[in-house]
Structure formats: C-alpha cells, structure tokens
Structure 1
Amino acid sequence: MLDAVLPLQCGGCGAPGIRWCDWCAAQLAVGPDQPRLVSPRLDPGVPVFALGRYAGVRRTAIVAVKERGRTDLIAPLALPVEAALQQLVRWRLLDLPLTLIPAPTRGSAARRRGGDPITRIAAAVAGRHRGITVAPALRMRAFARDSVGLGRGARERNVAGRVLLRRRRLPTGSGAVGEVVIVDDVVTTGATLAESVRVLRTAGLPVTAALVIASA
C-alpha cells in the first residue's frame, strides 16, 4: 500500500520496487586501482582521492541523498567510502587510527536535509571500525552562499574565512585524533577543501588527505 502512494525506486537508476539495486551497487564498487588521485583546480595542500566522476549513478545517488531526503542511501554510499579507506591503508598512504572530518556545510542546508549527509556517511563508516572515528569539527560561518554555480574565484571568496573549527567535536585523549582525513561528497574547484585544510592545520591537526565520493 505504501509503495502505491510513494512508489519505491532505486536511488541510482530508478528501477521500481527496490531502494538500491545490485547493478547500481556494482557501479559504485571500489576497484583494485581505486580511489584515484585527482587534481582540483585549487590545490588544497593534501592529496585528494576520489571514488569516481560526478556522473551517472554516482551523481544521481548523491543528489537523491542531499536534495530528496533519501537517507536510505547513506549505507550504500558508506560502503565504497569504507572500501576506499581500507585500500589507502593497504597502500600505506594512511595509517590507523584515523579521524574522519566531514567537510563543512551551511547550517541552513543541513537543517533542510534533516542533518548533514556526509557526516552520516562518515559516521556509518566509523561505526564499523575501532580504528576510525568521525569528528564533525568544521562548520560554515553564516551567510556563506551555496557554492553551486559559482566559478573558481567566487568559490574562493565565498569560503575564505568562513570555515570554523569546533574543537569540542574533536576526539579527546592522547593520540586520539591520529591522522586526519577530510571527507566530502563532491570536489569541484577545491576551494572548500583548501580552506578546511588551512583551518585544521592552523589548529595543529595533522591533515593527511581528503577523500571524496565524486570529482566534478
């Protein structure tokens, strides 16, 4: 009856009667050569690894989570993020323990979405590993615009000085932070990542890399 009122569709391809199909899961699966190093137009000062391009199933799923309230896609998106982190540890590009810090988002956007999707994705990953914690320690100062549609220069100006650190959200205890990885859904110009790295490093936090679900 519920499906008749609100038809259930795959969050990737739109197939009816299923939330997330096997075909879409395979499209997001992390291959032996992934994640791949990408080069945003603005260098954030750390290596940026992406699971794939912002297109196809990946783009559709990200938009569905962010703009259509498809929180049921948090787990399917968390799985490739988890696999990518494990791969980076195997390659010895990262070492445990890790602290995942979600890239900052505007408070109004988070409220509209019922919470920040990337924080939920990072929390889902951390919940499965003792050596990984998530710390939503960055926030965007009020009046920052939505970056969609902004060019490189406008994005830089939009985030300059507007990314703030919430120290109380960081893990406590000696060595509790470990290596820091910034996690985000999409990287475009790299402006938000660059400002986030600057803020964290100014606070003395060892930012090692950034991991994004998609690169545009």
Structure 2
Amino acid sequence: MRTLLDLVLPASCAGCGRAGAGWCAKCDAALAGPPVRVWPRTDPGVPCWALAPYAGPVRRAVLAAKERGRRDLAEPLGAALAGGLAELRSARRPLVLVPAPSRVVAARRRGGDPVLRSARVATRWLPDSRVVSLLRMGPGVRDSVGLTPAERARNLGGRVTTAPGRVADWGIPPNAEVVVIDDVLTTGATARESVHALGLMGLPTRGVLVTCAA
C-alpha cells in the first residue's frame, strides 16, 4: 500500500517537505552530531543526552512519527539513536534499551509506539544490544501538553511501573548497561519516574538518551 501511495503521491521529507524522500540527507545531518549532555529541570538522577534540540526538521520528524503515523521515520530516527549510543556505551558491556512508557490510549491512536519502533531499529545497528519493554504508564495519567513542570511531576508521580517479573526473568545480564530511550525530553518528569521504577525493580540505569530536548 505504501508503494502504491508513493506512486500516486510522491513521498515528502518529514523534516522539510521536499518531495522525493521520506527523510532527506540535508535533514538527516541535523541528527548526525554527537549526543549533547542536557540537564532537565526535573533531575532523573542519571546523565541525560540528546541528539538535537527540539526544533526545525528534527521536531517536525518526531511530531510526524508521533502524531501523523509516519512509521517510515523509525528507520532514520533509529539509526540516529544507534549512532548516539555507539558514542556513549561501554563497548565491553551488553546494552539494554528500555523505551520510555506511553499512555495506552495514545499508543493505540498512533498505531503503536514510535519510540519502541525506533529503539528496535537502533539495536539492528549495535552489536550485543536488545530492547526490553519494561515500563508501563498507569491509569489516570493525562496528556502532558500544556502542563507546567510541577503539574507534569504530579501527573506522573508514582504512575510509571515495570512489567511483572524479576530482572533475571527478562534475561537481562547483571553487567548490562541500561539506557532509557525517548523521543523528547521536556521537564524530565517521565525520565525521573522511569529511572525510579527501574531502580525499584533492581535495575540501575546508566542514562537517558532522547532524540531531542526542548
């Protein structure tokens, strides 16, 4: 179906709108640099890194993947995550990517979780790595758009949990390097609750890597 649509309506770049490709080389350059350390207002207690600011073509690509069903963007966004992780990881340790949780209703509306799709693409580029979907968003969490940092913290407080089971049940080795992956870092509330939930499970987090930071 996608091939047929491309014949009728040529693909346009999610970053700049240029016809001919879903993600052009010029926009891809916005994700080509090394990860940059960022300090969100709500400290998750571990280092946070971003591939780019939440602006320009990267912002438009994240929104297209999240709100407009552009599943094709999982490939370039996942490859960019892999590049950032290759810069940050300890080469001798297995790498475990844990996608940040999303609300069930939001994931259903989007036809799946774009962060999970990108994380899976990233592991294809990285040796000795895997994705483990451990985090869950509990009931009662509102859409965070328009909330202040304090409201975001209250909205998420105690509502991020982990899937049932022990660390060993998920096949995570004791020396694994665990990184939380997300698309956008705003106040840091989701990152903090994610790191906290993993810690309660007995799984220390090495850091947080996001596609872009606001």
Q: Deviations over 1:179-207 (max 9, x none)?
A: 21000001111011111111111111021
Runs of 4+ in 1 over 4 A off after TM superposition: 168-171
Aligned pair in 2 of structure 1 residues 95, 184: CA closer, same or farther (>3 Å)? farther
Q: Which amino acid aligns with 2:182?
A: D
Q: Which residue of 2 aligns with 1:148?
A: 145
Name the CA distance, whole Å, in 2 between partners of 1:101 and 1:95.
19
| Conservation of the 8 A alpha-carbon contact between 2:46 and 2:206 | yes
Counterpart for residue 187 of structure 2? 189
Quote the Cα distance in structure 2 between the aligned partners of 1:158 and 1:149: 12
| 1:120-131 map, 5 Å | 120-131=117-128
Gaps of 5+ in 1: none
Q: Secondary structure at the match of 1:52?
A: strand
Shift of residue 133 of structure 1? 0.8
Which deviates further from its counterpart, 138-147 or 65-74? Answer: 138-147
Aligned to 1:26: 29
> CA 1:46 to 1:5, structure 2 compared with 1: closer, same or farther past 3 Å?
same
Q: Which amino acid aligns with 1:16?
A: A
1:187/1:214 contact within 8 Å kept:
yes
TM-score (norm 2): 0.91
Q: Across the two proteins, how many residue pairs are aligned to each other?
A: 210
Give the 3 Å change call, closer, same or farther, for CA 45–7 of structure 1 in structure 2.
Answer: same
Which deviates more from structure 2 when the two are superposed, residues 124-133 or residues 164-173? 164-173
State which of 146, 156, 160 in structure 1 corresponds to 2:157.
160
Q: Which moved more, 1:173-182 or 1:62-71?
A: 173-182
Q: What value does the CA root-mean-square deviation take over the aligned residues? A: 2.0
**Offset at 1:162?**
0.8
Counterparts of residues 14-163 of structure 1 (less than 5 Å) = 14-30=17-33, 34-89=34-89, 92=90, 96-163=93-160
TM-score, normalising length: structure 1: 0.90
In 1, the alpha carbon distance for the partners of 2:205 and 2:144 equals: 23
CA contact (8 A) 2:86 2:126 kept: no
